């Protein structure tokens, strides 16, 4: 994970997760396809790998009572 690029997207990811109520991120690295999934079933195309990674980091930080990243949040195909 290129953390420097990913970190640039963290402010955007925080807002995106809050406004779209994102609960998971689907990442297909082979195809270069990334998608955010909301709690109401909507999905949002994500253009860049770094954006998808930033969304995953935000979701992991928000996991209640977790001190380590939750590997169940988001998934990679």
For position 74, what pLDDT does the model report? 57
Q: What is the pTM of this model?
A: 0.78
pLDDT surpassing 90 at residue 76: no
Q: Tens of pLDDT along 6-55?
A: 999 999 999 999 999 999 999 998 899 999 999 999 999 999 999 999 99
- Continuous segment of H or E residues that includes residue 15: helix 10-20
Q: How far is CA 69 from the centre of its chain?
A: 12
d(CA 49, CA 66): 24
Residue pair 26/68 in contact by the 8 Å Cβ criterion: no
Residue 62 token pair: 């928000």
Residue 4 token pair: 């420097």
């Amino acid at each position: 994970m290129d953390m420097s690029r990913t970190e640039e997207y963290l402010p955007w990811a925080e807002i995106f997760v809050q406004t779209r109520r994102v609960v998971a991120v689907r990442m297909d690295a082979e195809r270069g396809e990334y998608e955010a999934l909301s709690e109401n079933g909507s999905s949002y195309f994500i253009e860049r790998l770094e954006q998808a990674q930033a969304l995953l980091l935000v979701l992991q930080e928000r996991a209640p009572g977790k001190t380590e990243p939750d590997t169940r949040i988001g998934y990679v195909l």
